[in-house]
Structure 1
Amino acid sequence: MKKILFLLGLGLSLFTVNLYAQESSQEINEEVEPETKFKQQPGLAKAASKIFYSEKPWSVSGFGEISYVNRNDIPLGMEDDIELSYNNLYRFSTFFGYRFTDKIIWNSEVMIEYLQDPAGNSHFEFILEAFLDFSIHKSFNVRAGLYPMNIGYINNNDEPVMFGSVNRSDVERIIVPSTWMGMGVSAYGVISPSFNYATGVTQGLDGAHFLSGSFIRQGREPRFDSEAFSTYAYNGQINYVGLKNWTLSASMYVGQAGNNQTVQTSTGDYKTADAVAQLYTAYARYEQKNWEFMALATHGFMSGTDDLFELTKMGNGGVGQVMANQNVGYLVEGSYDLLSLFGERSFLRKKNALIDPHHVKIPLFVRYEYINTHKDYNKNLLAENNANMVHFNSDIITVGLNFKPREEIAFKIDYQFRNNRATGPYAAKEDNLLELGIGFIF
């Protein structure tokens, strides 16, 4: 199965490259400012935005990635989240868009994903996403359906050519659970040339499936049962782009995680689980021709962790999860295009099937990140029977290199130096990791 999926992924990669084989070789004037073929609609990554800029009333686009991590052991407590502990990943996504009118646009995604971990466990998933955009005014537009949440950076820029590392950062996988889809309604628009925003209401989280070491991640999946909209959440983001080359952003999520389920109290009575999750993020991003800089911070809060402890017993085989009352994560990352050191680059004057001289890059990046999944928690819960807690208090340094022959293709390699400051029986084991990957969009 692995070989078949590998060949499928490789074939799709070659097919994507060959789409450009019909382009005739032509001389490139390096003085001309390169223009991107991929524009972004607010809240969506590049390939996902294609229908909004297509000259036809329909569009087909997507992305794919194949990656490998030399992980020897599954991190403690991550056994039930194979995407956080995989060795092999094969992922292919296709977006289908249709413009009913200039004001009503349909967008949908079909994704297939196959993962395998060091223990030989494998996971195959078929994921659907669909939503409608109603373009009312540049300052007020509406999106309804199952769509990406507007929070942090990666969640709206999750295609593999849009970030340097093979995997998304741990800050934006464990604390901010990208990729995160919400079922609901949101509004977005441009307030002024300097400010744009998004705000919306979605269904709440399913706290019964929370895992201690990954905060709200396991409860983010959309639900379609009779209780799907029994609780709600608010999500908002505002971005400032008034400084040249800079984006400053702040976002938040506040939502109920009890899902109106009943739990038993310590006195033997029954009550409706009441747990509110809060997540706040902010980032600053600078992009210049050869340089990129990123700093991001996030802080999470959870009330009612004693209710969640009882609730997760039902969703996790009788094992209560000790959730954090507070957690925190932040990162800083810098990137520099090594190809710019070659000056004129006369060896890259012709555009062909693989190379686009206007967009070819070899970025070297370094990222430091810190996560503390249990900055504060109810220590009394650890005394309960069948209690589980996974504590990351980790420093992670990632050094990596990309080769981007075109805007839509990236070959990646990085190495992570990982250290967990936490000690004791609940401290997650950390190992240094080598990661390799190929990603593309079309």
Structure 2
Amino acid sequence: MKKIIVLQWVVLMLLSLYSKAQESSEEDKVPDTKFKQQPGLAKAASKIFYSEKPWSVSGFGEISMVNRNDVPLGMEDDIELSYNNLYRFSTFFGYRFTDKIIWNSEILVEYLKDPNGNDHFEFIVEAFLDFSIHNSFNVRTGLYPLSIGYINNNDEPVMFSSVNRSDVERIIIPSTWMGLGVSFYGGITNDLNYTLGFAQGLDGSSLQSGTFIRSGREPRFDSNAFSTFSVNPQLNFTGIENWTLSASAYVGQAGNNMEFTNSNGTIQTANAVAQLYSTYIKYTQKNWEFMALATTGYMSGTDDLYHITKEGSGGVGQVIANQNVGYLVETSYDLLSLFSNRSFLRKKNFMIDPHDVKIPIFIRYEYIDTHKNYNQKLLEEDNVNMVHFNSDIITIGVNFKPREEIAFKIDYQFRNNRATGPYAAQEDNLLELGIGFIF
């Protein structure tokens, strides 16, 4: 199965690149048409909105390898956070019924394997409709990406430097995070746009201590699908040349209105609310980029969550943080810009576009504290699970981008957990290798 998936990706990538090379064989006469982004969507996912035809096929793929020796404490139930090998391929199918009504859908296939020999195959489908009413007011409904942080709307592998997404945007801000609901978006001015979404809340019974709300983000389609709900606003400002400033939030119910038996033997309904706030700034120039992102999360009713996770997971209750924090700072510089004479680059072919070639080297520092504040009395309960990351992570790496659609990546992570005691997660330095592409 794994070999078939990899072969499929390679064939599709080569066909896509060959097609683009053929279309642009007269590059000296006609400039390239670059990938564009629709609000709330990454580059490949946005293709239908800019296609000259009423339909489009696009997508992305990635192959990643990590020299992980063991599954970190607390990551046993989420193989995507602790894999050694990852193979991911996504295809978007879009159709424009009219200029105002646009259908978009994604089929994503994943195969992962961890150092303990466990593997996981997943098949994911998402679909949503956009109603383009006015530049200042549009509607998106269905199963769509929530607008929070940076990665969730820029999750294709050519859109971030490291092989893996940052831990800040995997453990505290879960990515990729799909919501089932409706979202309104548009431009307030030419430089300021907004998103306001209303979607399902979280499944509190699925939460894991070490990853905050990540395990509760999966969409539900049962009779209680909308028994909980959430609000998700975002503002983006681009009025300063080369800069993007963004602020976003998520407030949603997490108890799922489930009943449980408390310590006194009384039956009660779980009541918990999750809050997540994030902001980032990004500067992009010709040869270098800078980005800083910060986030903090809050959870009320963590004693209720302890009880409903205990009843739903074989008698082990999760200690979810009342507050956590995370931030990162990253900068990159294109090493190829040091060469004033680029005559060694050949003319455009299916693999290399001389106008797009870059070799960015980057460094990123990130910090996460998954339990900045928590209910310490819960540790006195029986059958408690708590996983504490209070980690500094420094990532150094380099990409080779022969054209806009492809990235070859290598990076090394220096990881240190400041937390001590029986609930501290174990950290190891990691070497990561990856290939990513979009089409």
In the superposition, the TM-score normalised over structure 2's length comes to 0.98
Residue in structure 1 matched with residue 229 of structure 2 by the alignment: 232
C-alpha contact 1:23 1:353 (8 A) present in aligned 2: no
C-alpha contact 1:252 1:279 (8 A) present in aligned 2: yes
Give, in whole Å, the separation in 2 of the partners of 1:344 and 1:192: 42
In structure 2, stretches of 5+ residues that fail to align are none
Q: Return the offset for 1:26.
A: 5.4
Q: Return the offset for 1:23.
A: 4.9
Q: Return the offset for 1:330.
A: 0.1
Structure 1 segments (4+ residues) deviating >6 Å? none
Q: Return the offset for 1:200.
A: 1.2
2:302 aligned with 1:305: yes
AA in 2 matched with 1:175: I
- What is the RMSD of the two structures over their aligned residues, measured on CA atoms? 1.4
Identity of aligned residues (%): 77
Residue in structure 1 matched with residue 216 of structure 2 by the alignment: 219
2:19 aligned with 1:19: yes
AA in 2 matched with 1:105: I
Residue in structure 1 matched with residue 186 of structure 2 by the alignment: 189
AA in 1 matched with 2:63: I
Q: Return the offset for 1:24.
A: 6.7
1:312-349 CA-partner distances (Å, limit 9, x unpaired): 11332211000000000000000000000011311225
AA in 2 matched with 1:268: G
Q: Return the offset for 1:177.
A: 0.2
- The correspondence of residues 141-160 of structure 1 with structure 2, limited to 5 A, is 141-160=138-157
Give, in whole Å, the separation in 2 of the partners of 1:50 and 1:371: 35
2:139 aligned with 1:161: no
Segment drifting more, 93-102 vs 12-21: 12-21
Q: Return the offset for 1:77.
A: 1.1
Give, in whole Å, the separation in 1 of the partners of 2:96 and 2:190: 26
C-alpha contact 1:356 1:405 (8 A) present in aligned 2: yes
SS of residue paired to 2:336: helix
In structure 1, stretches of 5+ residues that fail to align are none
Q: Which residue of the other structure, out of 309, 322, 327, is the alignment partner of 2:324? A: 327
Give, in whole Å, the separation in 1 of the partners of 2:329 and 2:49: 32
1:187-231 CA-partner distances (Å, limit 9, x unpaired): 000110120000011011001000000000000000000111011
SS of residue paired to 1:350: coil
Q: Return the offset for 1:25.
A: 5.2
- The correspondence of residues 314-393 of structure 1 with structure 2, limited to 5 A, is 314-393=311-390
2:86 aligned with 1:89: yes
AA in 2 matched with 1:8: Q
SS of residue paired to 2:322: strand
Residue 101 to residue 341, structure 1, CA distance change in 2 (3 Å): same
SS of residue paired to 1:22: helix
AA in 1 matched with 2:243: W
C-alpha contact 1:9 1:90 (8 A) present in aligned 2: no
Q: Which residue of the other structure, out of 262, 265, 269, is the alignment partner of 1:268? A: 265
C-alpha contact 2:260 2:311 (8 A) present in aligned 1: no
Give, in whole Å, the separation in 2 of the partners of 1:35 and 1:294: 27
Give, in whole Å, the separation in 1 of the partners of 2:48 and 2:358: 27
Residue 261 to residue 97, structure 1, CA distance change in 2 (3 Å): same
Residue in structure 2 matched with residue 409 of structure 1 by the alignment: 406
C-alpha contact 1:372 1:393 (8 A) present in aligned 2: yes
Give, in whole Å, the separation in 1 of the partners of 2:269 and 2:244: 42
Q: Return the offset for 1:20.
A: 3.3
SS of residue paired to 1:43: coil
